[in-house]
Amino acid sequence: MRCRSVSLSCKGKINHLIRLPKKKKDSAIVADAHLSKGERKSLRKTYRKELVKRTLVIKIAAAWVITVPCAAVMSAFLFYTIKGFMLS
């Protein structure tokens, strides 16, 4: 369930529904929301996933996995090239 195409005001309403009070004295608000406990739990799970952009985290991790070994290989190549010129 993605919330990208939902407007900002609709996201605010969803956020309000997720954070409904759980006390019995405020049960009128819960009855007015027409959401079951499972539906609220699903919305809360989706909302948390939207807080952390997983694709961005994957891109950052991939950049580290690719960049660090490449830099090590290039620096080793440069080191041994310079060392070879110094010895000859």
Phi, psi values for residue 53, rounded to 5°: -75, 100
22 with 62, same domain: the answer is no
58 with 46, same domain: the answer is no
47 with 60, same domain: the answer is no
Run of H or E residues at 56? helix 54-87
6 with 45, same domain: the answer is yes
38 with 20, same domain: the answer is yes
Q: For residue range 10-64, what is the model confidence (pLDDT) as tens digits?
A: 666 766 666 655 555 544 454 445 677 787 788 778 777 667 778 888 999 999 9
- R_g of the chain, CA atoms, integer Å: 26
Spatial separation of the C-alpha atoms in residues 28 and 56, rounded to whole Å:
40
Task: Give me the domain span that covers residue 72.
Answer: 54-88
Q: Against a cut of 0.85, is the pTM above it?
A: no
In the chain, the amino acid numbered 11 is: K
